[in-house]
Structure 1
Amino acid sequence: MIMLSSTMLNLCPLAFSSRNYRVKMSSFVVQASAASLPPLPERRTVLGVGGVGVDILATVDTYPNPDDKIRSTSLKVQGGGNAGNALTCAARLGLNARLISKIADDAQGRGILEELQADSVDTSFLVVSKEGNSPFTYIIVDNETKTRTCIHTPGSPPMIPDDLSKSNLLAALDGVRILYSDVRLHETALVIAQQANRIGIPMLIDAEKKREGLDDLLNLTDYVVCSAKFPQAWTEAPSIPNALVCMLLKLPKLKFVIVTLGDDGCLMLERCIGEGVQSQQMEADSQYELLKQKRDTNKSIPTCISSNQLKLSAEGLGVVNGRFYLGTAEKIPPSELVDTTGAGDAFIGAVLYAICANMPPEKMLPFAAQVAAASCRALGARTGLPHRADPQLVPFLN
């Protein structure tokens, strides 16, 4: 058993101040690389609704057995939560990020606000409760397997739609290019999504797993990024490619769905409308296998290959006009791989940027993979998140 004293939570404000070093170290890189970057998107305000919190990360040589007592090799306290992480990533990439969530007026909550504001995330729409506790998560990082185990404690009291007034809802959506939800705070997220849908603001959903309220949000969404297990769990399809076809069939508003596959990169299915779709019907599984055969396994940097626009069939489920894109992940040397916590959130933050910048999928997927890989080179979900002018991103932005 790993013993982490509850008093560690009271150290949050001090722990959060450590990011100042990262800001100073990155300033020179930003200045040196900015001249070679394309201009920022004109419409680049993203509104996120979902989880924020404090992450208490303990690294261990190997994951403990039941009733073990072991020592951590390092300890880090920093901001967390899917929405908080994804919007921090988006802000570092140059987007105007706004966040709707709920915290308590405690040491953890004040640390959460401080770190988000230091990364230029707009926290003016966060709800701060005078009582209760802010969310926090214990994370055990296994140095041997490079995996992490999370133990989450939700915030209290939970956020409800009445916490957000009509005037604040409209103000939060003003000028927004895209809405994002991690499906936490699902009742509030649904109210925001319904209003966004009425005024024509598209939405991206992080479908990490089946959650309460997810189906209602999926019916309103334009884009989905999901975990490897989600598509088959949600559709009961026999394979991932078939499941993605099924998702487009079940969700007529959906423009694309991306499933992240860890070391195997990602697979995206984009809906095709209009001319250019081949009349011949092709099996989704067969197209996926063909794409895998075309991968250049010798390249260490992220790449992307695509199918033609096809009539893609899923076994007994139906046919959709679409195009597959297979994105590869960066091959990170074992000596550089530190922690995968928040890699999916980093990927989503980059996808939000790509949508605002009107990136085609062939550019979006390698860019998002590179951002996610950068986050894996440091402990915690935010320490390694790159800024837009970091040299490793510049080739993917031009």
Structure 2
Amino acid sequence: MSSCSDEAIPGQPIVLGCGQLCLDYLVTVASFPIPDQKIRGTSFKVQGGGNTGNALTCVARLGLPCRILAKVADDSHGRYMVEELESSGVDTSFCMNAKDGASHFNYVIVDNQTNTRTCIYTPGYPPLLPDDLTESLLFDVLDGVKVLYVNGRSREAELLLAQKAHSKNIPILINAEKKRTGLDELIALADYAICSTNFPQEWTESPSSPSALLSMLIRLPKLKFVIMTLGEHGCVILERCSSEFSGSEEETDIDELYESLKQSTDLTSVLPVCNSSGDWL
């Protein structure tokens, strides 16, 4: 990997990510195996993973300065992941070293037939805890930060960090993968949310995905927009309108609007496609 740290423009806003690092063992197969079957993999790769590490690697490769706050085990896996992040331009100076810890790792099966991936997660230890975040550390790690990225894996520590960021008017972006105990307090502080396909309905208990996105904006007044990922079909975003309505606009059913957008989107295009509802909602 080539380093992007030298490409960042001085004075650019810093992106801070807080979360777990995880080592991925990725094997690609022609099709997912059935029980008791032996198959041959078509490729194999070992690389750092986890939502926070992946997001910050992308940010760094785009040329923006970023740093990570995490607790990393002092084993071969942990050292490998930190070195990999550094090679991509991520500032790891706020990674805490756990001398007696063990790294988190994933076995990931990538199915070429269905274009899906199956993860088998093995948690490591020790976790990042609120007691690890001293006042001086919080002051230093948030210095110059313009966006905080969290995902709820280290919920209590992330909540403390998010509360401090909120008090400093630092925007917070949350990656909401699935319902977790205590996630409600963290997501209530978020300015932006990126969700897995199933999370909006699971969290809101709404009858449809579009209505669930709308329900999230209604329940979370701080949220400016929510994105729901759709795998190979891209994503859908619902943004809070900042303009003032006169009250004469005709209301639009969000499920009908969503279906209309799907019908009018060219899914055969090999290039990225953005289809907007304009001022319909």
TM-score by length of 1: 0.66
- How many angstroms does 1:178 deviate by? 0.5
Structure 2: gaps spanning 5 or more residues: none
Separation in structure 2 between the aligned mates of residue 62 and residue 293 of structure 1, nearest angstrom: 30
Which of 241, 262, 275 is residue 292 of structure 1 equivalent to? Answer: 262
- How many angstroms does 1:286 deviate by? 1.7
The question of 1:283 aligning with 2:258 is answered: no
Separation in structure 1 between the aligned mates of residue 137 and residue 226 of structure 2, nearest angstrom: 30
- Residue equivalent to 1:301: 271
- Residue by residue over 1:204-257, the C-alpha shift from the partner in whole angstroms, topping out at 9 and shown as x without a partner, is 010111112311111100000111111111111111111111001110100000
- How many angstroms does 1:41 deviate by? 9.5
- Residue equivalent to 2:229: 260
Decide which structure has greater strand share.
2
Which sits farther off after the overlay, 271-280 or 91-100? Answer: 271-280
- Residue equivalent to 2:219: 250
TM-score by length of 2: 0.92
Which of 5, 24, 37 is residue 55 of structure 1 equivalent to? Answer: 24
Q: Report if the CA contact (8 A) 2:227-2:238 is conserved.
A: yes
Q: Report if the CA contact (8 A) 2:19-2:150 is conserved.
A: yes
- How many angstroms does 1:159 deviate by? 1.5
Q: Report if the CA contact (8 A) 1:276-1:309 is conserved.
A: no
Separation in structure 2 between the aligned mates of residue 308 and residue 41 of structure 1, nearest angstrom: 36
Equivalent residue of 1:64, what SS? coil
Task: Please tell me the root mean square deviation across aligned C-alpha atoms, in Å.
Answer: 2.1
Which of 89, 93, 97 is residue 120 of structure 1 equivalent to? Answer: 89
Q: Trace 1:147-296 onto structure 2 (pairs within 5 A).
A: 147-275=116-244, 279-296=249-266
Equivalent residue of 2:67, what SS? strand
- Residue equivalent to 1:371: none
Residue 147 of structure 1 aligns with an amino acid whose one-letter code is: T
- Residue by residue over 1:20-64, the C-alpha shift from the partner in whole angstroms, topping out at 9 and shown as x without a partner, is xxx39xx9xxxxxx9xxxx96954210001121211112223322
Which of 42, 46, 50 is residue 73 of structure 1 equivalent to? Answer: 42
- How many angstroms does 1:276 deviate by? 5.4
Separation in structure 1 between the aligned mates of residue 32 and residue 265 of structure 2, nearest angstrom: 34
| Percent of aligned pairs sharing the same letter | 53
Structure 1: gaps spanning 5 or more residues: 1-18, 28-33, 311-322, 324-398
Separation in structure 2 between the aligned mates of residue 294 and residue 64 of structure 1, nearest angstrom: 37
- How many angstroms does 1:87 deviate by? 0.3
Which sits farther off after the overlay, 51-60 or 293-302? Answer: 293-302
Separation in structure 2 between the aligned mates of residue 224 and residue 255 of structure 1, nearest angstrom: 8
Q: Report if the CA contact (8 A) 1:100-1:125 is conserved.
A: yes
Q: Report if the CA contact (8 A) 1:51-1:182 is conserved.
A: no
Equivalent residue of 1:254, what SS? coil
- Residue by residue over 1:172-209, the C-alpha shift from the partner in whole angstroms, topping out at 9 and shown as x without a partner, is 11111100012111111000000000010010010111
- How many angstroms does 1:305 deviate by? 2.3
Separation in structure 1 between the aligned mates of residue 212 and residue 179 of structure 2, nearest angstrom: 14
Separation in structure 2 between the aligned mates of residue 213 and residue 207 of structure 1, nearest angstrom: 12
Residue 223 of structure 2 aligns with an amino acid whose one-letter code is: L
Which of 73, 82, 99 is residue 130 of structure 1 equivalent to? Answer: 99
Separation in structure 1 between the aligned mates of residue 242 and residue 31 of structure 2, nearest angstrom: 50
Identify which of structures 1 and 2 has the higher relative contact order when contacts are C-alpha pairs closer than 8 Å and 6+ apart: 1
- How many angstroms does 1:298 deviate by? 5.0
- How many angstroms does 1:274 deviate by? 3.1
Separation in structure 2 between the aligned mates of residue 71 and residue 285 of structure 1, nearest angstrom: 43
- Residue by residue over 1:290-343, the C-alpha shift from the partner in whole angstroms, topping out at 9 and shown as x without a partner, is 222332345321121222445xxxxxxxxxxxx5xxxxxxxxxxxxxxxxxxxx
Q: Report if the CA contact (8 A) 2:12-2:65 is conserved.
A: no
- Residue equivalent to 2:58: 89
Aligned length: 278
Residue 238 of structure 2 aligns with an amino acid whose one-letter code is: L
- How many angstroms does 1:145 deviate by? 2.5
Change (3 A) 1:145 1:41: farther
Q: Report if the CA contact (8 A) 2:13-2:64 is conserved.
A: yes
- How many angstroms does 1:90 deviate by? 0.5
- How many angstroms does 1:267 deviate by? 1.2
Q: Report if the CA contact (8 A) 1:104-1:133 is conserved.
A: yes
Separation in structure 2 between the aligned mates of residue 60 and residue 291 of structure 1, nearest angstrom: 34
